Structure 1
């Protein structure tokens, strides 16, 4: 019976979540209820709960996590000050003469906005409001338009600097240290957020290139689905050079500065995020879009998102502590190590579970609840921590894009006009899901796609 308690705890939390209760309180509440039952029946040691205060103070003292609100502030400021909107208009005009050019501009701007914001919902909604009406008005096929927006919006999962990678980096680092201790290895090597940023850079850029290649393919095979912007509309734009200089280069430079300072080792993710937040404010001021009202909106949105992240982290910490108190980590370890296929079978099953959970849980819950349980076990099998982190991020991105439960599809459905059917959105993302799966298999086949750059830079 005691071996079933960790499973009952896990599925009990999923059941409460499906009832519609808040994620943080579902995780913490389920954990505490099961802990109370375990204490009364003698199956749980109350001393495990004494570690809760230390865990909470550890969250508050974690300097890496300070980067989360700063990155959110940077992205929301770029959105609220209309910098993202001008960036999209400029890119659309720049690529307008070619078929599929508008879709390419949406992909590139979605990549930049997703990287700076890092929140899938915010990016998809923003791109849906800004670009979907424009694409439909200019004759784009609804499926291509919605698929491009959903796919580019989820790029924030894998393109650095990304909040997903910041959170994963912190969890993977702890899991790596735990795996070493369990094996009796005392190595000075640590895994940083910068390692994950470098590891995700090549797969992320290859993914963007694959999206663009698909749009070019559509332009060649079915040109009517991705028409060019009419010449008379392009001729209305005055001084294109001026627009590129003042609308395109500043935000691109800001994102490059933030990412470059982390990858170059000149700044920690937290320091670089603070530079990004300050830079976003300076850009808004330079464009005369910085007002007290906008600042209040940005701070309110940042507070909401950051509070959500950290309260979920608190709930997940309590849940995982109770799960370990019931011996859940030992149960998972035995199950994964006994699977046929060895390491390959264990990784395949974990990736499948994470993919399915991505239908119901956001990346924050999966990062804080599932990854701390399975990552130490997989790393103890000899897997590279950077490769594992990038695989999880890419897997979650695919999950968020897959019908019928993909979060990105729900977000776009919420802002898409009534003339766009849900089935058109589902059909539109299918080619991009195929691209994602190919990328996932390529990364599994050639781990060097994720490990080569960190090894080259950091040794």
Structure 2
């Protein structure tokens, strides 16, 4: 076999092992080292170490010479260097800080107050509780960036209230599932930090570029919720006084001050400090982590148990992301060294695709990968395969990253592997069927495709804020 064929075999073995359920990070590292041993094998280096066996009569020296000869391969140096590179990456330093902010905010008992306040504030709008749930999801998802946590918590808080208010179960479920995924797109998104580390694109430009597409998607969701509530009132009846009471204006202002504004101020402080150049993303993440602690203390929810849980979950998730990077860097380095990357580039260039066709093909592949894989695995493992192809088609990595972030919304919403639906089904009342949840998310999935089309047709949606803040 030629080296490029070995590289393709390496990729094929990886895909098979993933579908068999092997841990992805350790599978990447194992395959990288195994195939790397072959790729970097130097018989001269190994035999120079083995020759000491004939020269040394000492048992210990002979044994160490044998071990040295066996491990005298550059793949082990590469693996150590890649591990050090990942652990010293300044961009990834923001990941544990933003994660800690999200986990501590999740445990600060803010969401129930926020949803109740927004439901009261929007009670005269069509689909008022759906609008309140969607805005709460968007704010909470932005503050946490953790899809499972947002969908689960909102399912516990908002779904029973919406069902009690006679909302259609499918409609209510779709709102919560779609709103809960927004955190991987709207800054400060953990996904965008990971993409920045994988692609070398400035994280501040990514954050600025993702703001308007994120708002466009939220706007499409709101238009759908309000429009369907007007055209089909039975799916979202107006709440009665018992379900959502009207309150005097001063009381409503006080409710907003104690629930909506604290979380909004935290998000604006974090994003504003990044976008206006007052702090690096890592420094802003530290501000957010401290702000989360202050919020939890202000709501009297900062207990040792909750703090310990937040730290544990932060460490566990950060370790998963970092080891994925180590495995991906090792795997991709060996894959490229064997000529796999060049082979793929030649294959794609031979297809004679236009830039639009290339983007459609890339997004289709990412869409399909979203069924069996998590977003972190797609960004760290498979997106770097497309990055070297972008200059060939004149595609900006910033623009490509925003399209990927929009596309990955679908990985949580597309049946039969819609993880948001399974998160919600796990805590929903028994009468809410999984098929109803699937039916509810389909219109929101269509909204994601519309948002992707808008971004492609009007690329200024992505480039406007980066150009305003940082120039062309």
The question of a shared fold, defined as TM-score above 0.5 by the shorter chain, is answered with yes
Q: Distance in 1 between matches of 2:12 and 2:148?
A: 26
Counterpart among 114, 118, 128 of residue 91 in structure 1:
118
Residue 48 to residue 338, structure 1, CA distance change in 2 (3 Å):
farther
Q: Distance in 1 between matches of 2:334 and 2:436?
A: 44
Q: Distance in 2 between matches of 1:125 and 1:95?
A: 23
TM-score under structure 2 normalisation? 0.89
Q: Distance in 1 between matches of 2:283 and 2:317?
A: 20
Residue in structure 2 matched with residue 334 of structure 1 by the alignment: 346
Provide Cα deviations, 1:1-24, integer angstroms capped at 9, x if missing partner. 433333322232222122222221
TM-score under structure 1 normalisation? 0.91
Q: Any conservation in 1 of the 2:363–2:407 contact (CA below 8 Å)?
A: yes
Q: Distance in 2 between matches of 1:407 and 1:37?
A: 38
Counterpart among 203, 206, 224 of residue 214 in structure 1:
224
Per the alignment, in what secondary structure is the counterpart of residue 232 of structure 1? coil
Larger gyration radius, structure 1 or structure 2: 2
Deviation at 1:153, TM superposition (A): 0.9
Counterpart among 158, 181, 204 of residue 131 in structure 1:
158
Q: Distance in 2 between matches of 1:149 and 1:274?
A: 29
Residue in structure 1 matched with residue 60 of structure 2 by the alignment: none
Residue in structure 2 matched with residue 188 of structure 1 by the alignment: none
Q: Distance in 1 between matches of 2:441 and 2:77?
A: 47
Tell whether 2:106 aligns with 1:106. Answer: no
Aligned counterparts, 1:58-457, within 5 A: 58-173=85-200, 191-235=201-245, 239-457=251-469
Residue in structure 2 matched with residue 11 of structure 1 by the alignment: 12
Deviation at 1:122, TM superposition (A): 2.1
Q: Distance in 1 between matches of 2:153 and 2:286?
A: 23
Q: Any conservation in 1 of the 2:40–2:74 contact (CA below 8 Å)?
A: no
Between the two proteins, the alignment pairs up a number of residues equal to: 440
Q: Any conservation in 1 of the 2:42–2:73 contact (CA below 8 Å)?
A: no
Q: Distance in 1 between matches of 2:160 and 2:332?
A: 44
Per the alignment, in what secondary structure is the counterpart of residue 443 of structure 2? helix
Q: Distance in 1 between matches of 2:324 and 2:135?
A: 31
Per the alignment, in what secondary structure is the counterpart of residue 279 of structure 2? coil
Residue 38 to residue 60, structure 1, CA distance change in 2 (3 Å):
closer
Gaps of 5+ in 1: 174-190
Q: Any conservation in 1 of the 2:425–2:434 contact (CA below 8 Å)?
A: yes
Q: Any conservation in 2 of the 1:52–1:318 contact (CA below 8 Å)?
A: yes
Q: Any conservation in 1 of the 2:37–2:75 contact (CA below 8 Å)?
A: no
Residue 234 to residue 345, structure 1, CA distance change in 2 (3 Å):
closer
Q: Distance in 2 between matches of 1:402 and 1:268?
A: 35
Q: Distance in 2 between matches of 1:172 and 1:341?
A: 23
Per the alignment, in what secondary structure is the counterpart of residue 278 of structure 2? coil
Q: Any conservation in 2 of the 1:332–1:374 contact (CA below 8 Å)?
A: no
Provide Cα deviations, 1:165-198, integer angstroms capped at 9, x if missing partner. 111122221xxxxxxxxxxxxxxxxx31110111
Root mean square deviation, CA, Å: 2.0
Q: Any conservation in 2 of the 1:48–1:321 contact (CA below 8 Å)?
A: no
Greater displacement, 401-410 / 429-438: 401-410
